[in-house]
Structure 1
């Protein structure tokens, strides 16, 4: 996804070269339509921050992503002035990306193999996420169906960028546009769909099913700080939209938690200062409530870990040494505090998820 920086709610210290860590979100209506539109615009704008955070982590050697450079403002890249985030933010971007890469790789390589090679990924609020390009540039992803959903303006901008950049165009050649959906038939039987759609419209009674959606193959639903921008009832309805249709279904959530302790209250205050709300944060405040949320949604098995726990248990010691050597991190206590306020939760129902069941450390 588009590499949200860990302190996106809470960093008041800024970054080297300006700007703050951010993340695109998709939703969050307020009482009036005017303020709702304004909030949507603000949330869409945070995707720019997310792209810069990802590029910062790539430029400094935390991550490898040859596509990240195309999703930051080109004048800044040409001038060599890509914003460098603080070390604590770069580490957060790195850990979140590594965690989701591990879970998604496990899904693609080990889940549903007894049912054939076809698998499906649905990325909610995809924004400038580059994962689809990274996956489709790998020859091993035969039979992958990949959906991205975002506001029409965001999806249209991404489509235009693919048309303009040869490296991206070589991965996604000859786009075929129909209405608000851009669809591709790629090599090895892969399919890609970019849907220009407000998630809140997806759950309306008269809404049509997503073009190309498969209900008969193992599916992974991904929400990286996306559903948290919706009202709680809307977020539930989005998940239900897919649980009602797809029997063999899994989900990955990346969201903030603990809004009521001193650090969490500062997070929420900083959000409010940017005119951003995360309504579900009031209802899913901790690991237990995130767990219960997914059980209530109909998933049979649920796991969750904070970003701090993932750093301690998933990242090998030699890799930690490499990351530490990139910049050094003096604020270890602050890192533990920040990383403890973000969670990755994953859940599933159906057969063939043994690989996920074994991911604990």
Structure 2
């Protein structure tokens, strides 16, 4: 008889639970699309058996809509400034997951203003995304000619003329991450960093080093290469988790082995802009999703959304939206660079309206 076979126990995967949050976000967006909150013909390609997925509760659908509305508007206004400058711009989406923004931009009216789009995430996620892209004729067609699309690094990276999908750990030294981007990243063009629910899962030290790495890269390029591109950033994440609701949120996530170390330095809405200001950004602002829903969504859209589903949990919705925020900031180049657009005025514009739950 052969001796029993020894199998080394599987090592725990400390990042597995965080990677699963991308599936949650993709399913939430798919649900919001299916219920007609949002228009996004591309998300179904990134969700397995999309047509069989059950819808999410109205509270999640509304939250997903408000998040998308706020970020989409900021990105649109970033492109508007680039148009005023008569220059193309770049987007670097860090922790991009299953996001579809590249395809939405590249099939929209601003497509010619996009110079390059970068997505960085764990290799397990980028491999799945690269496979989904190659499998879908609709997604691949947007990238360009087949001969101009290449897969690299064992299938974890994908390159096209304007799109670059890269595998990387955002907690690594920023120099290593920037080395991945540098062959295609221009320090001359306005560059927008997107952090959608990613920094909150990192230590404050790691997230601070990441932002500072981009600041140093653009500053060094300005001194040595004549680069003078505007640097911008958008962060979407939860904050203020020391109240009773926040503690329940953290406890629920901890039950799924997800911790939120990045939330600790930001206990209030007023503290959120320091995310960028401490790195020398010219301006930074923050709004909660509750703020955006109440005052920054077109009243006609408010009316349309209100008829999609019955929403009974208004107080709970307000509580949840009050613990998520969008923070954005701009760092203007130093020196005597003359800019045509007022990048420091990058903002959301409020509407004079009220929504249910304000009274």
TM-score w.r.t. the length of structure 2 is: 0.83
Deviates more, 1:175-184 or 1:204-213: 204-213
Runs of 4+ in 1 over 6 A off after TM superposition: none
Q: CA deviation at 1:39?
A: 2.5
User: Which of 139, 156, 164 does residue 127 from structure 2 map onto?
Assistant: 156
Q: CA deviation at 1:127?
A: 0.7
Q: In the aligned structure 2, how far is the partner of 1:220 from the partner of 1:123? A: 8
Partner of 1:46: 21
Q: In the aligned structure 2, how far is the partner of 1:289 from the partner of 1:183? A: 38
Partner of 2:211: 239
How many residues of Structure 1 are paired with residues of Structure 2 in the alignment? 316
Q: CA deviation at 1:204?
A: 5.3
Partner of 1:359: 348
Partner of 2:245: 263
User: Which of 74, 88, 92 does residue 59 from structure 2 map onto?
Assistant: 88
Q: CA deviation at 1:117?
A: 2.2
Q: In the aligned structure 1, how far is the partner of 2:179 from the partner of 2:89? A: 22
Partner of 2:39: 64
Tell me whether 1:111 sits opposite 2:111 in the alignment: no
More relative contact order, 1 or 2 (CA 8 Å, 6+ apart): 1
Partner of 1:141: 111
Q: CA deviation at 1:354?
A: 4.1
The answer on whether the counterparts of 2:91 and 2:194 sit within 8 Å (CA) in structure 1 is yes
Distance 1:107 1:206, change over 3 A: closer
The answer on whether the counterparts of 1:299 and 1:347 sit within 8 Å (CA) in structure 2 is yes
Tell me whether 1:215 sits opposite 2:187 in the alignment: yes
Q: In the aligned structure 1, how far is the partner of 2:40 from the partner of 2:160? A: 22
SS for the counterpart of 1:199 is coil
SS for the counterpart of 1:64 is coil
Q: In the aligned structure 2, how far is the partner of 1:304 from the partner of 1:329? A: 26
Q: CA deviation at 1:349?
A: 1.6
Q: In the aligned structure 1, how far is the partner of 2:177 from the partner of 2:71? A: 33
Distance 1:207 1:243, change over 3 A: closer
The answer on whether the counterparts of 2:130 and 2:157 sit within 8 Å (CA) in structure 1 is no
Gapped runs of 5+ residues in structure 1? Answer: 1-33, 186-190
Distance 1:207 1:338, change over 3 A: closer
Tell me whether 1:199 sits opposite 2:175 in the alignment: no
Distance 1:355 1:58, change over 3 A: farther
TM-score w.r.t. the length of structure 1 is: 0.83
Q: In the aligned structure 1, how far is the partner of 2:127 from the partner of 2:48? A: 17
Q: In the aligned structure 2, how far is the partner of 1:206 from the partner of 1:124? A: 10
Partner of 2:303: 321
Larger radius of gyration, structure 1 or 2? Answer: 2
Gapped runs of 5+ residues in structure 2? Answer: 1-10, 219-228, 333-338, 351-359
Please tell me the root mean square deviation across aligned C-alpha atoms, in Å: 1.9
Distance 1:140 1:293, change over 3 A: closer
